């Protein structure tokens, strides 16, 4: 499994996620100010980061804990 992935939303680069060398999580680094709210957050895997980025792009904020309506998944480009 690669150590970094590019996250693209609607053809725009939202950021990258890179594996944290200390554990198995992936840290997000924003490539656009629209995704600054995700900067430095840890995710279990790249798909989880992409779901959060899609939600942020659609709703203008990140999902709250306990939100039972996860955003639809898309593709991750390596």
27-74: pLDDT as tens digits: 999 999 999 999 999 999 999 999 999 999 999 888 776 554 544 444
Question: pLDDT tens digits for 14-32?
Answer: 999 999 888 889 999 999 9
- Distance separating alpha carbons of residues 15 and 29, to the nearest angstrom: 5
Cα distances from 47 to residues 2, 72, in angstroms, run 13, 10
Please report, for the chain, the start and end positions of each structural domain, with discontinuous segments joined by +.
4-59
Dihedral, CA of residue 32, residue 77, residue 26 and residue 71, to nearest 10: 80
Tell me the whole-structure pTM to 2 decimals.
0.77
Closest CA to 77 of 37, 49, 38: 49
26-30/12-19 β-pairing: antiparallel
């Amino acid at each position: 499994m690669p150590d970094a992935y590019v996250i693209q939303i609607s053809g725009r680069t939202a950021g990258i996620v890179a594996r944290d060398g200390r554990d198995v999580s992936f840290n997000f680094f924003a490539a656009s100010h629209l995704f600054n709210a995700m900067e430095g957050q840890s995710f279990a895997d790249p798909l989880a980061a992409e779901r959060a980025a899609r939600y942020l792009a659609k709703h203008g904020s990140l999902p709250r804990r306990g939100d039972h309506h996860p955003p639809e998944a898309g593709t991750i480009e390596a």
